[in-house]
Structure 1
Amino acid sequence: MIVGIAKLLGAASILQNKFKTIKEWVYAGFAINFIGAFALGAFVGDGVSLLIPPLVALVTMFTPYILWKKLAANVKNS
């Protein structure tokens, strides 16, 4: 339950734009979580069908992260 609440708070902090450092740490925490889910599944011998969802979630998470960083760089340069 605590981890679920932390994930909800993390999702809420990704949606805000005031505290950029917290947003960076949330992205890092989610990345560690998804990589850990993939590694744990690989270590216990899960099939490929169970290893794909953490990778899809990781790519899905990095898409807005990269776009956010590019937008921040464009705003800073203009």
Structure 2
Amino acid sequence: MTKRDYIYWGATGLLALAQFASGTLYLLAEDMAEAFRHLGFPDYFRVQLGIAKIVGSIALLAPLPRFLKEWTYFGFITSFVSAFIAHTAVGDPIGDILPPVIVLGVLAVSYVTYRQRQAAPANDE
């Protein structure tokens, strides 16, 4: 494995774990339901997003065709940008606004190294 592979798997594993945990909490934790109400979202959206995050976290780790991986990354980007906008719109403190931005940074590392791995020859070091 190359240094790029370690960076890819580290960032992707961290992203997948965070999103799986987040999706699970969206479905099970009452404080997450309250957070969605605070942001003005209906309860069904919390359930839908929780399921999407769990499925997406599995898709990041699974050996899927490139177009499915690309859509998975796009879905997470949309989720993180939307979370930033929602928290900012309701006037939440910086502690609530920064997490989606930080996770977006981890996603960027995962995506860039994913694309580099796709473009590199099999014996690249």
Give the TM-score normalised by the residue count of structure 1.
0.86
Counterpart in the other structure of 1:41: 87
C-alpha distance in 1 between matches for 2:62 and 2:95: 34
- Aligned residue for 1:45, secondary structure, equals coil
Partner of 2:42 in structure 1?
Answer: none
Distance across 2 between alignment mates of 1:11 and 1:52: 21
| Unmatched segments (≥5 aa) in structure 2 | 1-46
- Unaligned regions of 5+ residues in structure 1, if any? none
Q: Deviations over 1:55-74 (max 9, x none)?
A: 01111111111101011111
Q: CA RMSD in A?
A: 1.6
- Cα distance between partner residues in 1 of 2:75 and 2:101: 15
Q: Structure 2: how far apart are the matches of 1:38 and 1:30? A: 12
1:54 aligns with 2:91: no
Render the CA deviation track for 1:21-64: whole Å, top value 9, x for unaligned: 11100100100000000011111111111111010111111111
The aligned residue for residue 63 of structure 1 is 109
Q: For the pair shown, which has the larger CA radius of gyration, 1 or 2?
A: 2
Instruction: Quote the sequence identity (%).
Output: 30
For residue 29 of structure 1, what is the aligned residue in structure 2?
A: 75
Deviation at 1:75, TM superposition (A): 2.6
Return the TM-score normalized by structure 2.
Answer: 0.56
2:52 — aligned with what?
Answer: 6
**Deviating runs (4+, > 4 A) in structure 1?**
none
Equivalent residue pairs, number: 77
